Amino acid sequence: MNETLSLGRIAGVRVGLHWSVLVIVALVGVALARGRFPAAHPGHSAVVYWGLALVTAVVFLGSLLVHELAHAVVARRNGVQVDGITLWMLGGAARLHDEAPTPAAELRIAGVGPLTSLLAGGLLAGVAAGLEALHTSGLVVEAFAWLAAINILLAVFNALPAAPLDGGRLLRAYLWHRTGDRLRATRGASSAGRALGWFMVVTSFLAVLYGRDLSALWPALIGWFLIAAATAEARQAEMRSLLRGVPVSRAMTPDPVTVPATATLTDFLAEGPFGHYRHSAFPVLAADGSVAGVLTLRRVDATPPQARARTTVHEVMRPLDEVVTAAPEEPVLDLLPRLESSPVRRALILDEGRLVGILTLADITRALAWPATSTARGSAGPRHERPEHPKET
């Protein structure tokens, strides 16, 4: 989930908001300002209801952030790098760069989330009780009571033993500890996540069909997200299992087709799409043979046709400092997150500054398409000759 607005760093962790956070604010605002608050404490103006509802929604987002920060802090203490946190429509997501090294670490990282929400709910309930004892406005007490209840509900829901919920992580830690097989444990937690998701979808649609309550569609949306996320998690685990220990040099396309920085775009286009330049992105070489950047067809296409004869590749290429680079011996798994977030979706493979290959997501996909027994052989298995034509880059 890519962030739309960066909030900087909190406790050393990059935090951002996705645009869909507005959906949370809108839903909570409407539910409280036009539902719960007027029903529990009538007689106030619409401005008061809406103002308190929006403040409550923001505090709720803050509680989601605290939940994810707890995951991030514990993950770092257990040696897991945290790429960042993004709040979005269905809550929050802490992006962990690596997996937990042991079942015990997985247990600690996953368990702290629901525990934090539970503690937050208890604290907010105590504040609500204290404000009521001080005879504070019933509307304010109602807001704190709602926040306490929603955090406790969040803790209980997240503790359900189904991926990608925190309870699914706890289930995976247990299965991992019992079987000693991380992949098998992930499959089990993902199956539980899909089962829970389908249960929510089916029961939600039955509620709409027989109860004619459109608000019941919200659990269906959450259930559909659980199904998709659990499936993606299982696929990612399969991918990590296949790629673990594989160096970039085994997955890359060696000796990629290059283009000189001094060539004009007209000369470049004259060689494609059926000639020498038949791909969609090319490493660019300077006059001294060093790598200068990457040229993409998208950037060429953005140049007006009448200007291409006098525009050089160097003028429109993406410079090297904006391109992902890696060494041949670097593990593919370490490179993959950078590759996925790169706008070019390619990495140039450099050996002491010399271009030796290029790696794309398509290269990795092709490797994963081979039967697991073939990829597991490694260097001991039969060697296949490289095809006559270069792979698509």
Number of domains in the chain: 2
CA distance 258 to 387: 18
**Residue written as token pair 């019992």:** 178
Examine residue 282 and state whether it is found in any structural domain, yes or no.
yes
| pLDDT band of 273, cuts 50, 70, 90 | confident
Whole-number pLDDT of residue 383: 36
Q: Among 194, 222, 243, which residue terminates a domain?
A: 243
Instruction: Provide, rounded to the nearest whole percent, the portion of the chain with pLDDT above 90.
Output: 65
CA angle 100, 81, 181 (to 5 degrees): 15
pLDDT in tens, 99-130: 899 999 999 999 999 999 999 999 999 999 99
Report yes or no on 389 lying in a domain.
Answer: no
The residues assigned a catalytic role are 68
Taking alpha carbons only, the member of 75, 81, 113 closest to residue 337 is: 81
Give the per-residue pLDDT at 326: 95
Angle at 146 between CA 45 and CA 58, to 5 degrees: 75
pLDDT of residue 112: 96
- Please identify which residue in the block is written with the tokens 């953005």: 302
In a domain, 41, yes or no: yes
Residue 222 and residue 186: Cα distance in Å, rounded? 20
pLDDT class of 369 with cuts at 50, 70, 90: confident
Asked whether residue 370 is assigned to any structural domain, the reply reads: yes
The answer to whether residues 232 and 258 belong to one domain is no
Residue 31 CB neighbour total at 10 angstroms: 16
Distances 87 to 11, 19, 60, 80, 130 between C-alpha atoms, Å: 16, 9, 11, 20, 30
Of residues 203 and 240, the one with the higher pLDDT is: 203
Could you tell me which residues come within 8 angstroms of residue 381 by beta carbon, excluding any fewer than 6 positions away? 374
Task: Tell me how far apart the alpha carbons of residues 299 and 284 are, in angstroms, rounded to a whole number.
Answer: 13
269 and 291 both lie in a single domain: yes
Q: Return all residues near 19 (Cβ < 8 A) that are at least 6 apart.
A: 4, 5
Instruction: Mark whether 211 and 331 lie in a shared domain.
Output: no
Residues comprising the chain, all counted: 393
- Taking residue 60's Cβ as centre, other Cβ atoms within 10 Å add up to 20
Amino acid occupying residue 378: G
Please identify, among 181, 209, 243, the residue that sits at the C-terminal boundary of a domain: 243
Could you tell me if 38 and 124 lie in one domain? Answer: yes
DSSP 351: E
Asked whether residue 312 is assigned to any structural domain, the reply reads: yes
Judge whether 261 and 292 are in contact, CB under 8 Å: yes
Both 28 and 134 in one domain: the answer is yes
Give yes or no for a contact between 264 and 292, defined as CB atoms under 8 angstroms apart.
no
Residue-wise pLDDT tens digits, 65-85: 999 999 999 999 999 988 889
pLDDT at 377 over 70: no
pLDDT-based confidence at residue 98 (cuts at 50, 70, 90): confident
Alpha helices in the chain (DSSP H): 21-31, 37-40, 46-77, 103-133, 138-158, 166-179, 182-211, 217-243, 248-251, 265-270, 297-301, 313-316, 332-341, 361-369, 372-377
Report helix, strand or coil for 27: helix
Tell me the average pLDDT across 282-311. Answer: 95
pLDDT at 392 over 50: no
Q: Rounded mean pLDDT of the chain? A: 88
For residues 260 and 285, the answer to whether their CB atoms sit within 8 Å is yes
- Choose one of 243, 265, 296: the last residue of a domain: 243
Residue 141 pLDDT: 96
**pLDDT (tens digit per residue) in 18-36:** 888 888 899 899 999 999 9
pLDDT for position 7? 84
User: For 142-176, what is each residue's pLDDT tens digit?
Assistant: 999 999 999 999 999 999 999 999 999 999 999 99
CA atoms within 13 A on the CB side of 187: 9
Give φ, ψ of 45 to 5 degrees. Answer: -80, 160
281 shares a domain with 222: no
Residues 311, 208, single domain; the answer is: no
Report which of residues 368 and 318 the model is more confident about: 318
In a domain, 385, yes or no: no
Residues 263 and 342 in one domain: yes
CATH number at residue 298: 3.10.580.10
Whole-angstrom distance, CA of residue 191 vs CA of residue 176:
15
Q: How confident is the model at residue 238 (pLDDT cuts 50, 70, 90)?
A: confident
Cα separation, 230 vs 228, whole angstroms: 6
Residue 372 pLDDT grade (very low, low, confident, very high; cuts 50, 70, 90):
low
227 and 270 in a single domain? The answer is no
pLDDT range class, residue 393, cuts 50, 70, 90: very low
pLDDT at 391: 37
Residues 230 and 260 in one domain: no
Residue 380 has pLDDT above 70, yes or no: no
Q: pLDDT-derived band of residue 2, with 50, 70 and 90 as boundaries?
A: low
User: Given pLDDT bands bounded at 50, 70 and 90, which one contains residue 340?
Assistant: confident
Are residues 235 and 254 located together in one domain of the fold?
no
* pLDDT band with cut points at 50, 70 and 90 for residue 3: low
**Coil, strand or helix: which one is 115?**
helix
Clarify whether residues 185 and 314 are in a common domain: no
* Residue 20 forms part of a structural domain: yes
Classify strands 91-96 and 82-88 as parallel, antiparallel or unpaired. Answer: antiparallel
For residues 88 and 326, give the distance between their C-alpha atoms in angstroms, rounded to a whole number. 32
**CA atoms of 270 and 300, how far apart (whole Å):** 13
Would you place residue 240 in the very low, low, confident or very high pLDDT band (cuts 50, 70, 90)? confident
Domain coverage including residue 15: 5-243
Beta-carbon contacts of 221 under 8 Å, excluding residues fewer than 6 positions away, are 90
Other CB atoms within a 10 A radius of the CB of residue 341 amount to: 11
Q: Decide if 387 is inside a domain.
A: no
Contact 376, 368 (CB under 8 A): no
How sure is the predictor about 371, in pLDDT bands with cuts at 50, 70 and 90?
low
Query: Would the pLDDT of 367 be above 50?
Result: yes
Per-residue pLDDT, averaged over 357-383, amounts to 65
